[in-house]
């Protein structure tokens, strides 16, 4: 009788440990970061530029003091690349942002109407990129991707995106279906906690506009989900313990 009681307690203890581990993984992002790389680039054609790469977040701006007085504005660029734990959503977030304006640098005296005679500043281009390699704590990975663009222009050349890859297996993880109202998608993946994965988020722009803004962000979180067989065995074990208790055997 004592031996049966001991065996049943071991089963209960193992189940409790398994569920505690799953809860612990779900309580944080469940992402173990192995390495990070951040890259930002900004340039105004014929003027100034920057091109930086680091293993810590980057935030860089470029402003040209070439605007005229009155209603005219100086051209500027701003790029930001960062990643880290998002405490609100309990997920790990990668974010790339590019913003700025081409500006107006002078008047054309040949144009009669003042509101139409502004001379646009130099065209600019900007890039922000985040690359993170990681291992998931659990076997189930949740991914939420969002991107947004806004601006005023005759044309806007640029974009944003995300890529996910099982680096160990050399296999890309496909994106989820696009949602509404924003440009976003959500997807869930079965993953191998022993594998290394790579996530890349980027945004870039080559503007010919008064103002522009590109935002690209991805959130990831993993946790342990019991395999279907383990769930069945757990249910059978719980039922067996209940039966033994009713018969007074434990």
**Model confidence over 206-228: pLDDT tens digits?**
766 667 888 999 999 999 988 66
The answer to whether 13 and 235 are in contact (CB under 8 A) is no
DSSP 115: G
The answer to whether 99 and 214 are in contact (CB under 8 A) is yes
Q: Average pLDDT, stretch 229-245? A: 43
Residues in CB range of 31: below 8 A, 6 or more apart: 91, 92, 134, 135, 136, 137, 220, 221, 222
DSSP class per residue in 164-219: EEETTTTEEEPP--B-SSSEEEEEEEE--TTS-EEEEEEEEEEEEEEEEEEEEEEE
Confidence of residue 118 (pLDDT cuts 50, 70, 90): confident
The whole-angstrom separation of Cα 98 and Cα 231 is 46
The answer to whether 142 and 225 are in contact (CB under 8 A) is no
What values do phi and psi take at 99, rounded to 5?
-150, 165
The whole-angstrom separation of Cα 167 and Cα 198 is 6
User: Higher-confidence residue: 216 or 13?
Assistant: 216
CA 226 to chain centre: 26
What is the structure's pLDDT at 59? 98
Residues in CB range of 242: below 8 A, 6 or more apart: none
Give percent above pLDDT 70 in the chain. Answer: 72
What's the whole-model pTM score? Answer: 0.78
* Average of per-residue pLDDT values in the chain: 79
CA 40 to chain centre: 16
Classified as helix, coil or strand, 110 is coil
Other C-beta atoms within 10 Å of 142: how many? 18
DSSP 12: H
Q: Average pLDDT, stretch 33-48? A: 95
Q: Average pLDDT, stretch 87-113? A: 86
The whole-angstrom separation of Cα 248 and Cα 242 is 10
The whole-angstrom separation of Cα 130 and Cα 9 is 48
Task: Report whether pLDDT(181) > 60.
Answer: no
Peptide bond into 71 cis (omega under 30): no
117 by Cβ neighbours in 10 Å (0-12 / 13-18 / 19+) ranks as middle
| Residue ranges covered by each domain of the chain | 29-222
């Amino acid at each position: 009788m004592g031996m049966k009681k001991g065996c049943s307690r071991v089963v209960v203890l193992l189940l409790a440990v398994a569920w505690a581990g799953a809860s612990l993984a779900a309580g944080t992002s469940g992402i173990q970061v192995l390495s990070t790389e951040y890259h930002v680039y900004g340039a105004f054609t014929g003027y100034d530029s920057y091109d930086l790469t680091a293993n810590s977040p980057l935030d860089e701006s470029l402003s040209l003091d070439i605007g005229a007085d009155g209603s005219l504005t100086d051209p500027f660029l701003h790029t930001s690349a960062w990643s880290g734990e998002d405490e609100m959503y309990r997920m790990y977030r990668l974010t790339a942002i590019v913003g700025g304006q081409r500006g107006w640098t002078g008047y054309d005296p040949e144009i009669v109407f003042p509101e139409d005679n502004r001379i646009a500043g130099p065209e600019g281009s900007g890039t922000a990129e985040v690359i993170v390699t990681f291992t998931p704590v659990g076997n189930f990975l949740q991914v939420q991707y969002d991107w947004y663009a806004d601006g005023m222009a005759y044309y806007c050349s640029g974009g944003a995106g995300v890529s996910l890859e099982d680096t160990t297996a050399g296999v890309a993880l496909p994106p989820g279906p696009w949602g509404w109202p924003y440009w976003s998608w959500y997807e869930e993946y079965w993953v191998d906690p022993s594998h290394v994965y790579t996530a890349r988020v980027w945004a870039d722009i080559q503007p010919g506009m008064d103002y522009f803004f590109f935002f690209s962000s991805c959130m990831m979180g993993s946790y342990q989900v019991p395999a279907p067989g383990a769930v069945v065995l757990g249910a059978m074990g719980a039922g067996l313990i209940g039966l033994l208790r009713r018969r007074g055997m434990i």
